Amino acid sequence: MIMHRDRGGASNVAAYRVVPAQIPHPKPDHSFTRRPKSKLALFWWKRRIWIESTFALTVYEPWEKVVVLTVFAILCTAIMIVFFRFLPRQLILMRKRSIYYLWGEDPDVNDTMLWQHLGLTAPTDVGYNAGGMRL
């Protein structure tokens, strides 16, 4: 300890810190941000870090993280439902409309023309009268 006098004449005791021989481990330990060694773990770690940095999840309170991730999960679920449930019907309808706009007649009549033009056989399981999916 060193004793020194300030302007008022009173003596203060100032203690110097003793530097340890080894630096202690950081608190908290940031092991979850370290790059993993396996390829599969590295793939998922990159995705997690990308999502956390995009939505700034590290600065949110825990309840805010739950809200953001819940909204994200609901949106992803809705997009998957639309993709798998409604997109196939929409693609068939778009194909029929494009045939109508290209050849100007009923799509079922000109459907065989399209397949013949492409050098393929005409499908028999799709259409109005084939007993398949109906629009």
Write out pLDDT tens, residues 67-118. 999 999 999 999 999 989 988 888 888 888 887 888 776 666 656 666 677 7
Sign of the alpha-carbon dihedral angle for 77, 80, 85, 91: positive
The pLDDT, as a whole number, for residue 134 is 47
The pLDDT, as a whole number, for residue 132 is 47
Q: What is the dihedral of CA 25, 31, 34, 40, to 10 degrees?
A: 150
The first and second tokens of residue 10, run together, are 């009173």
Residue, of 90 and 128, whose pLDDT is higher? 90
Taking the C-alpha atoms of residue 128 and residue 121, their distance in angstroms, rounded to an integer, is 18
Taking the C-alpha atoms of residue 50 and residue 7, their distance in angstroms, rounded to an integer, is 56
Sign of the alpha-carbon dihedral angle for 112, 96, 104, 125: positive
The pLDDT, as a whole number, for residue 135 is 47
pTM, whole model, 2 decimals? Answer: 0.45
Write out pLDDT tens, residues 34-70. 888 899 999 999 998 898 888 888 899 999 999 999 9
Spell out a b/e string for 78-106, using b for 16 or more CB atoms within 10 Å of the CB, else e.
Answer: eeeeeeeeeeeeeebeeebeebeeeeeee
Nearest to 100 by CA among 87, 89, 111: 111
Strand partners, 72: none
CB atoms within 10 A of CB 27: 6
Distance of CA 82 to the CA centre of its chain: 17
